[in-house]
Chain A
Amino acid sequence: MRDEADQDPVIRLRSIRTQFGSHVVHDGLDLDVYRGEILGVVGGSGTGKSVLLRSIAGLQRPTEGEIEVLGTDVRKASEAERAALERRWGVMFQDGALFSSLNVRENVEVPMRAVEGLDPDLRRAMADLKISMSGLPYLAGDKYPSELSGGMRKRAGLARALALDPEIVFLDEPTAGLDPIGAADFDTLIRRLSDTMGLTVFLVTHDLDTLHAICDRIAVLAEKKVLVTGTMDEMLKVDHPWVHDYFHGPRARAALAAKDAQKEG
């Protein structure tokens, strides 16, 4: 998955500018995401990672710039084009954002209801399958979101994001607030789903272990734009002060050591 450079990008951002009042969040931001890769987006708090994710997923409009997803210009698309596009991507929100009045299975069925000619029994079975593939017990579908732990809610949110077999998934801090074992499981899950379903993953994270474990490429958001992109090894060689501190800080060293230990063991 390392030679995407000559492929067509599935997400193509050009000179994005986002502004809230006088507060400029992005200015002249460019980014390409290639098919089948897992791109990790990192950056300090408040640098606009979540805003960027929301802009690409069409939940928010940037002030200026071009956003092309799967060959469609998101900002100029008609309603019908947008609807077609939305079925080809899934978004997992930070706390799952499950509908609290529906149980987990019904939550996963929500996007499937728009599919015409799908038998209700088959829809249920597919929802159960997605729940099970997301690492929840097969019968967790009967539970309501309020009865789940934070980690289970995230998995259920992922199951819903995957309901229509999307080509791209957007994940906002998927491992935040999970215990280390749960976080590592989640990483493996994302990697496996990406490999078997050919998913392109746009992943916002602060978790250095995730970056080491599953990301094909990393994009660093700083100074209002994407400062550098590249593999983990390339990141370690960047000498921009913030990037250097980020990837060489005490936590980064610990994550690196853990990764090396895993390789040897």
Chain B
Amino acid sequence: MPATVTTDQTDDGSVLRLGGAFALADLTGLHKALMRAAAAGPVTVDLTEVTRLDTAAAWAIAEAEKAAQSAGHALHLEGADEGAAALIDTVRAALPDPDTQTKPAFSLLHWLDGFGRSVAAGGVFLSQLLGILGVFIARLGRSVLHPSEFRLTSLVHHCQEVGLKAVPIVALMAFLIGVVLAFQGAAQLRQFGAEVFVVDLIAVSILRELGILLTAIIVAGRTASAFTAAIGSMKMREEIDAMRTLGIDPATALIVPRVLALLLMLPILGMIANATGLFGGALMSWIELGISPGLFVTRLVENTDVSHLMVGTIKAPFFAIVIGIVGCHAGLQVGNNAESLGRQTSAAVVTAIFSVIVIDALFSVFFAQVGI
């Protein structure tokens, strides 16, 4: 039987007759009727016809009672059976005292507070990254002094994961970049009849910038997330705490092999990217502009200063450290729920790629100032 609410006005205030089975869907109407009556004057609530009183209806009655009291009237309950009375009592007991409820108001101060906190959090983040870098260097030094503590198997494993398994994607990416550069360069340079300079264009841009930068971005995407996921899921299952209790240093076991593997592998991957990029460029120049491979190699060797290669390669270890540290740090920040694992993993990728690009920009400024 659906719930009904009828209101009668009598000389001693209003009478609300409730009837039927109440459910959550009836709350809005009941609440409104009760509140209106409670604000106006004394109320009698008659529950005789009610077949089922739910907590929502009991709550509405308890609220109306409070409202009536604060307006200086009384609210009488009539015809409540034992169950309904007990339920209303339970609900009354569960309602909070008015003064325990605090709602923070939004204000400028609030906003400033949040802003300050996020700036401070940024500072903390940077200092934590530096902390991990310091731990890495300290543990690496320790491993040099005590070679028996060094985890060679782990290092080889990570070299394979980080380096060898990334070769196909890095090589393909660089090849395609070489092709695109040759193609676009040819279209522009042909207008001046300067087709042959396409070799310089490809060589300089790949060796100096694109080869290592794009490799680092790919590695940041695939390796930083893998580090975070691996370390984070260990953190989540308390494996890292277990390591500590067993006398294993988590930094030596987890961070050193990973970052070191990246440090060794990223320059090699960069070299592979340079080689396949040049190969792609040469191939396209041959097809599109008729520059024979022989001519390409001659111009490459004669006209391209070795400093370009140096400039590119010198960045690799910096990228490697940043990617590794960011990935490991995010892994250690994972809490004890799966959601934070997901959040940290995507944050690690974004931070790693962003940092790689920032470092590249800093190097560009530096080399421009130094004049290399």
Contacts and interface: CB of A to CB of B under 8 A. Distances in A.
Contacts of A252: none
B25 A117 contact: yes
Contact of A196 (B25, B27, B90, B340): B90
A112 B24 contact: yes
Contacts of A165: 23-24, 54-56
A262 interface: no
B168 to A, nearest CB: 36
B101 A138 contact: yes
Interface in B45-81: 54-56, 59, 63
Contacts of B54: 165
B96 interface: yes
A126 B30 CA distance: 14
A138 B28 contact: no
Contacts of A130: 55
Contacts of A162: 55
Contact of B55 (A118, A122, A192, A197): A197
B338 interface: yes
A197 B87 contact: yes
Interface in A154-201: 162, 164-165, 192, 195-198
Interface string B89-107: 1110011100011100000
A63 interface: no
A100 B24 contact: no
Interface in A51-102: 100-101
A118 B24 contact: yes
Contacts of A195: 86
A196 B24 contact: no
B74 to A, nearest CB: 23
A126 B27 contact: yes
A94 to B, nearest CB: 16
B31 interface: yes
A192 B90 contact: yes
A119 B44 CA distance: 25
Nearest to A131: B94
Q: Is the interface of B mostly helix, strand, loop or mixed?
A: helix
What's the interface size class on A, roughly? 20 to 34
A118 B86 contact: no
Contact of A132 (B25, B63, B83, B95): B95
A15 to B, nearest CB: 33
Contact of B31 (A101, A122, A146): A122
B336 to A, nearest CB: 6
Interface string A40-55: 0000000000000000
A111 to B, nearest CB: 9
B53 to A, nearest CB: 10
A138 B27 contact: no
Given A122-B31, A126-B59, A139-B100, A146 B337 contact: yes
Interface residues of B, number: 29
Given A129-B91, A196-B87, A122 B340 contact: no
Interface string B1-35: 00000000000000000000001110110010000
Contacts of B86: 195-196
A132 B90 CA distance: 10
A122 B55 CA distance: 12
A115 interface: yes
B99 to A, nearest CB: 12
B24 A126 contact: yes
Contacts of B28: 117-119, 122
A115 B25 contact: yes
A220 B91 CA distance: 35
Interface string A118-160: 1100100110111011000011000001100000000000000
Nearest to A112: B24
A8 to B, nearest CB: 17
Interface string A191-219: 01001111000000000000000000000
Contacts of A101: 339
Nearest to A128: B96
B54 to A, nearest CB: 4
A233 interface: no
Given A100-B339, A138-B100, A139-B100, A116 B87 contact: no
Contact of B56 (A116, A126, A145, A146): A126
Contacts of B90: 133, 192, 196
B339 A122 contact: no
A219 B98 CA distance: 45
A195 B87 CA distance: 9
Nearest to A146: B337
Q: Which of B56, B83, B338 has the most CB of A within 10 A?
A: B56
A197 B23 CA distance: 13
Contacts of B94: 129, 132-133
Contacts of A100: 337-339
A126 B337 CA distance: 28
Interface string B238-261: 000000000000000000000000
B185 interface: no
A158 B315 CA distance: 56
Contacts of A139: 100-102
- Top 5 nearest A-B pairs by Cβ distance? A132-B94, A138-B96, A146-B337, A165-B54, A133-B94
Given A126-B24, A130-B55, 5 more contacts: A125-B59, A133-B55, A139-B100, A165-B23, A196-B90
11 contacts: A115-B24, A117-B28, A122-B27, A122-B28, A129-B59, A133-B90, A133-B94, A138-B100, A165-B54, A196-B83, A197-B87
